[in-house]
Amino acid sequence: ISVLWKTGDIRNADLPYFFPTPARFENMLVFGAGSSLEGSVILGIDACSGEELWRSNEFSGRVRSAVTIGAGKAFVGSLHDTFHAIDLATGALVWEVPNAGGTSSAAIAGSMVYVPSDNRGTIMAINVETGEQQWCFQTGRAVMDLTHYLRGGSAVLSSPAISGDLL
């Protein structure tokens, strides 16, 4: 095994390290980078050459979930409890949904993206094209801090799985 390319050092004061696992779409790798609350970006990198195709920083919050790819978009959650849809062709923000998302990755089936929300203890179904919430299921009381969790709060800390018509 040999190294085909390197992106160079994309770290700087605002982007000292990466968090999530990259996703692949055709010949593009898509991933989030950054550690400061306001300094994260989503990057589209050519998988064959390592060339940066686009860089999106139009959203709020630190990227912590792995990117989910579908419907021509990259979907990612941030620590500001906001869920984002990024256009794969341009890197432009398509829509964002407040009070959704977090550190767990989403799952896509049909026209819906299913979004777990860590602290709120919810799973939301969001239309992939419009960003409109279709439904929200509360798994239990929201977790605001460790005390809430010890008293029976619920956190959704895993990515949803889809099998047939079951979530």
Low-confidence residues of the chain: pLDDT under 70: 7-20, 34-39, 59-61, 103, 118-119, 140-161, 163, 166-167
User: How distant, in Å, are the alpha carbons of 100, 156, 157 from that of 138?
Assistant: 12, 10, 14
What pLDDT sits at residue 147?
44
What pLDDT sits at residue 146?
43
- What are the tens digits of pLDDT across the range 11-23? 444 444 555 678 8
For 85-142, the DSSP string reads EEETTT--EEEEEET---SSPPEEETTEEEEEETTTTEEEEEETTT--EEEEEE-SB-
